[in-house]
Each structure stands twice: as structure tokens, then as C-alpha cells.
Amino acid sequence: MRFFLEQYGNEQFIYCLHGNRTIMANQKQITVEMIPTGEATAIIPIEGGKKKPVTVIGTEAIRETFDETCLQQTVNSRTAPGVENLVLNPDAHMGFGAPIGCVMSSSSHIYPGPVGVDIKCSMSLLQFDLPADQILDRRIRRALINAIVARTPTGAGKGQRNAPKSRHVPLKIGKMAAIAGASEEVCHQLGIPLSWRQRCEDSVHTGHDETGDALSQRLEKLIKMGMFPNVEEKISQLGSYGGGNHFGECEIVHIADHDRARNAADMFGLKDGCVAFLSHCGSRGFGHNLAVSQFKTLENYFRNWGIPFPSGDKQLVYAPLGTPEANDYLDDMALGANFATVNHLLINALILEAFEETFPGIQGELVYLISHNIARREVVDNKVVWVMRKGATRAFPAGHHALKDTPFYQTGHPILLPGNPQSGSAVMAAEAGAEKSLFSVNHGAGRALGRKQAFRQLDQAKIDQSFEEHDILTNCRKYPRDEAPAAYKNFDEVLRSVTLAGLAKEVARLQARFVIKDESKADD
């Protein structure tokens, strides 16, 4: 075995030669070397070593899951103008321009692709003081499912009118939520506990000039331009899950058996052997409108100005920071992000209300709300850059300067990683080694099968039988085939990659007892 030492800037990489992959990138055929640098890390050299290589997180088994399109998007994204760092996480798979499961940084450009069309798609976890044995009875779980779907609708386009016990959001308050995020007034109007604001990665996002006024002006301009002809309908989606891979899951918390996990769990507010509720959703149709419009607007600028798309991919459009186009994108992203924040908090308030209906006097506290589709201004290599996380989650360890005024300075913040209902999900805390991945980890297991593949290859009867065997209830008569556990990567191997790479350690495993999904897909 031959070992090599190479230097890129101030960093050195020791690696051994490994298998190559031939792909199309930058509109020509190239050979991609994925060179191991550890048991769960590797690099992809770029342009013969002229640029800093892509950092790859994943064991050999995980790296084999990266298909040609994923690697093509990886190289295209890394060689795009202004991109300084790119990390490929173990859940990586084909995305919109950039792979889902990647992290990109730039001090000069902002890219909508590595944020995606569901701005601030996020995870949140609500912890109850309810022992697990209280929901063993399937009739109790069915009552909880009914109470939840009566308050939090699922399905594309569904909003408050589709759930009889939902919380009506007036247009004025909905616009305020997009502008001010989880402000005291918004929380008061929607019945969201004020203490939950301290359990958000970001409870409010400001405009390009770090003010809320920029967002107020931008939203009014968008409405006048006809961007939101159905703005009241979009506002009515606050407090709803939507479709696709979004879900709500009732969990049992199992804290890992070591002191560090127990200390972190105590700080996070996790209760061993008790019921919790995990939610996955984003900015719904409101954020989708904003994101899709930005892609179209920037595509038109490129065409009108005669600027070539990076690697010929129109989904890799960008705007140089400081330009009006970049400012507009950052404002629109912040509006969508604020909407997503309030959407999650309202869902959790409604979930708590649903559990109170079945278990009067129950107490529920938000553990954390963390995004995996967002761009944030952070410090990388001693300079301020925009870090764009697409299907990737922030991972700041204990002692990180950004956590100094939060409850998590001594432990690192909670990382919420969904796997699948049958393999479970995880709560983790970052290690110092997360620096190598731009302080990021994967946002979940990542898809192993595309949606069309899943429909072709997976058997509906076997999927439904597997849920019965695991005693996991759902609100769907038939579980969506494209969301079946077999459509996703091996979650244990994904977590193993994160641990071996030194990015984070497991604090708790979450065991699903029932799942809320898009019931409109039940007959697909």
C-alpha cells in the first residue's frame, strides 16, 4: 500500500490510493479519486490539487452509496465561483444543483442551491414527563394520532381549514411571523410558550442588513409584485407538516449508558424511558414560493447578462455578496426561515395540546429546534463566511464561541438526526473534530432509493406488515412506499461514520411508537 502526503494551503493530508470513479463533471468526463484519510473520512482532490479538496465523511460502505450524479454535483459545486470549502456527509445523494447532504462555504457568493426549495427545513423534539408504559395500549396511541391530525394537517397545500382543531392564524400575525420570527408578540398570539424561543438554533432571522425593517419592506414589495396572490392560504399553512419526507413521530427516549451522555441529556432536558415527539418540516408553500422565485429570477439574470451557468447547471445559480440580487435572496431566505421557525413552534404547541387532551396535566418542554436547509454567517479559517447547509445540520461542540450565551456552552447543542421509524432516530452532541466538517453533520440517513425507484422496487404489503411487526402505528391506511425504511440508507452505518470521524457522539436513541405522515398518499 502506497501512502502520500500532500499540502493544500495550510492543511496537510496523508492518504493511501484507493479506487477511482469516472463521472461527467464540468461538462466533460473526469476521473474522481475518493482517497481515504481515515476509517470514516476521505478527500476528493479538485483540479489536480490546485484547489482545496472536498472533505468526505463516511465509512467505505457509505462512500459506495454515493452515485455518479451525487459525485458529479459535488465536483460541480466545489468548482463553482467563490466556493472555498465543500463537505460531503454520509447521507449525501442527488439534490438541487448541490447534493443533499453537503456543506458549502463562501466569503464572496451566496448560492440558493445549497439551501434548497424548502427554506429552513428543520427538526424539533418535544419532551414529555410521560413514562413509556402509558402508551403501550394501541387504543391510547390511536387516540393520540386522532387528536394530533385534528390539529396538524398533513399533505401538500393543506392548512388550518383541513384540521378542525387547528389554530387560526390571522394574516397580520402570519406576516409578523415571517418578519419577526418567534417574537414575544407572535408567540403570545399563537399560544407558544415564550421559553421555547431559547431552545431554537435561531428564533429570529434578520434581513441582509441585519434588520427586521428590510424584511418588512421586502415582504410588502413581494406581495405588491404578485409573488403571493394567495398569501392568506400560505399563511394558513402555519402549524402543518406538508408532504414528502416530513413527519411527526411519537418516540421513547433511551439515553446512552455513559456519563457524558447522561450529563448532556440532563442539560438538554431529555427524560430516559419517557415519551417525546420528533417533528420534521419546513417553511411549507410560503418558503417554496420564495425559493422557486429566486431560482427563476437568478436564472433570468444569468441569461440576460450572458453569464454561463457553473458547469452548465442552472440550479447552481449564484449572486455575489453585496449585490442587490444577493441582498434580495438573503431577505427572502430570512422570511422563509422565520416562517419555518414559527411553523415548528406552533406544531409543537398543538402536539402538546393533543397530548393534554388524552393525558390531562401532562408537561412538555421543547428540547431543541435545529435547521438543515439554511445559510448562516459563521467563522471558518478565521474569517467570516456564509456557510450553506443543504440537508446538513450545524454541529457546534462544547466551548464553541457561538454557544457562549446559550444553555449548551458546556455540552454542545442537541443534534437531532432522524433515521427511520424502525431503526430509530438519534440525539447527538458534537465533538471538537466537527471542525473538519465546517462544524456540520448529516441531517439523517439519506435516501438510498429515489422515489420512483422505491415505488418500482418495494412491496406495499411487506412495508405495512413490517410496521405491524414493529408495533408502530401510523395515520395512513398504507404507509407511503417512497418513504419506507428500505428507501433510506443504513442508519447505524451512518451514525458509525459520524462517530468514527470524530464529529459527534450519541446522547440518546429514539424509538418510534407511531408516525404521522401525508395521509393523502395512502392510496398511491
CATH number at 479 reads 3.90.1860.10
Residue 1 has a pLDDT of: 30
- The answer to whether residue 80 is domain-embedded is no
Does residue 67 lie within any of the structural domains?
no
Question: Which pLDDT does position 3 carry in this prediction?
Answer: 34
Secondary structure (3-state) at 58: coil
State the pLDDT confidence band at 9, using cuts at 50, 70 and 90.
very low
Residue 22 lies in a domain: no
Count of domains for the chain: 1
3-state class of 345 per DSSP?
helix
How many residues in the chain? 524
Can you tell me whether residue 340 is helix, strand or coil? helix
Position 366 confidence tier, pLDDT thresholds 50, 70, 90: very high
> Is the distance from CB of 46 to CB of 285 less than 8 angstroms?
no
C-alpha cell at 12: 496537510
pLDDT for residue 47: 87
Report which of 229, 230, 205 is spatially closest to residue 215, judged by C-alpha positions. 205
Q: pLDDT value at position 15?
A: 38
Q: What local confidence, expressed as pLDDT, does residue 478 receive?
A: 93
Is residue 280 among the annotated active site residues? Answer: no
- Express each pLDDT in 482-503 by its tens digit: 999 999 999 999 999 999 999 9
pTM of structure:
0.93
- pLDDT per position as a tens digit, 308-337: 999 999 999 999 999 999 999 999 999 999
The answer to the question of residue 1 being in a domain is no
Question: Does position 53 have pLDDT exceeding 70, yes or no?
Answer: yes
Q: If you average pLDDT over residues 50-64, what whole number do you get? A: 96
Residue 59 lies in a domain: no
From the candidates 109, 413, 443, 470, give the one annotated as an active-site residue. Answer: 443
% of the chain surpassing 70 pLDDT: 93
Indicate whether 110 belongs to any domain.
no
Amino acid making up residue 58: G
What pLDDT band is residue 50 in, cutting at 50, 70 and 90?
confident
Question: DSSP string covering 146-208, please?
Answer: HHHHTTS-BSTT--GGGSTT-----HHHHHHHHHHSS-HHHHHHHT--GGGGGGBS-S----T
**Residue 490 belongs to domain spanning:** 122-521
Element (H, E) at 252: strand 247-255
Confidence of residue 161 (pLDDT cuts 50, 70, 90): confident
Maximum separation of any 2 CA atoms in the chain, in Å: 66
Q: Is residue 69 part of a domain?
A: no
User: For cell 399553512, what's the residue?
Assistant: 237
Q: What does the pLDDT read at residue 192?
A: 98
pLDDT computed for residue 20 by the predictor:
57
Q: What is the pLDDT of residues 394-447, one digit of tens each?
A: 999 999 999 999 999 999 999 999 999 999 999 999 999 999 999 999 999 999
Residue 405 lies in a domain: yes
What's the pLDDT score for residue 29?
Answer: 65
